[in-house]
A = this chain, B = another copy of it.
Amino acid sequence: MEEIIVFGHKSPDTDTICSSIVMADLQTKLRGKQVIPCRLGEINDETKYALNYFGAEVPKYIEKVEEGQVVILVDHNEFSQSVEGIENAKIDTVVDHHRINNFQTAEPLFYYAQPVGCTSTVLFELYTVNNIEIEPKMAGLMLSAIISDTLLLKSPTTTEKDIKAVKILAEIANVDVKTYGLDMLKAGTNLDKYTEKELLCLDAKKVEKENVKYVIAQVNTVFIPDVLKRKENIEKEINKEISEKGLSLFVFVITDIVNSNSEAIVLGERADAISKEYELNDNIAVMPGVVSRKKQILPLVEKNI
């Protein structure tokens, strides 16, 4: 029997991992045959907390896919963020909440994206549309994904649909959103255990546009100065990444999840893409009120690059 696999993007975050597990559950029920959740990298502490809390297993790690492998993508579509070999896989289904870029298929597919805060919000709708009951474990995972992506519904990416989904999912999962949410987010902010190189990869999005390559990485913390203590070594690693991967720009965003602000270390020959909007002092841009890479930082870089 041909095995169908589901996975999210590289440098997996809580949405990517939880949505993979949830999508595998939904598709297994829809298709009547086992669909396998997978991951393309190490899971972070925040995600571990969520999986542990709701008793979910860590998805299987995969490095690449064979030609013709039937795959389901969640939380991404750009091939540069996907698994090795994606170009020759058979993409059957995509559920996402990002723009579409650097993506194509040979055949018609099921593709459902909405401009909402989190992939799991779209998945939540798909359970409803298909009249499939949501188990408490799956509700907890979707809830965790939405809390993570919207920083407890505070990010400007948050929509009415996310808010509605969180309300219903919290009831099914039987948790208090604020208490659970802050505990989960805080679990992901212990950055001391990571090397500088690891910090850059925790949640990194690599983008290619007309041969210009750049990375926007993001970490969450409860106290930005704690991370900036390591600025010198972080910059060293960023410069290494830039030269090794031929990047024009690297933006390392440090987000304060309690106060909803960010500061970013910006390096690369195209640092002007950020400095046009935010003054750079010693390579650092202070970004009050900025928490969303997708809604606030990516459009800015896109516009200027």
Which residues of A are interface residues toward B (Cβ below 8 A)? Answer: 97-115, 125, 129, 294, 299, 302
Contact = CB atoms under 8 A, between A and B. Distances in A.
A287 to B, nearest CB: 19
Contact of A299 (B97, B106, B115, B129): B106
A225 B104 CA distance: 38
Contacts of A125: 129
Identical copies of this chain, number: 2
A241 to B, nearest CB: 25
Given A100-B100, A129-B129, A115 B108 contact: yes
A110 B106 contact: no
Nearest to A98: B108
Contact of A100 (B104, B112, B115, B302): B104
Top 8 closest pairs, chain A to chain B, by CB: A108-B115, A111-B113, A99-B105, A101-B104, A99-B108, A99-B107, A110-B114, A112-B112
A108 B113 contact: yes
Contact of A115 (B98, B109, B302): B109
A108 B97 CA distance: 6
Contacts of A114: 108, 110
A113 B109 contact: yes
A105 B103 CA distance: 11
Contact of A302 (B99, B103, B106): B106
Contacts of A101: 104-105
- For A104, A105, A112, the residue with the greatest tally of chain B CB atoms inside 10 Å of its CB is A104
A303 to B, nearest CB: 8
25 contacts: A97-B108, A100-B100, A100-B104, A100-B109, A100-B111, A101-B105, A102-B104, A103-B103, A103-B104, A106-B299, A106-B302, A107-B299, A108-B113, A108-B114, A108-B115, A108-B294, A109-B115, A110-B114, A110-B115, A111-B112, A111-B113, A112-B112, A112-B113, A125-B129, A129-B129
A251 B70 CA distance: 30
A101 B100 CA distance: 10
Contacts of A112: 111-113
Contacts of A106: 99, 299, 302
Contacts of A97: 108
Nearest to A128: B129
Nearest to A209: B104
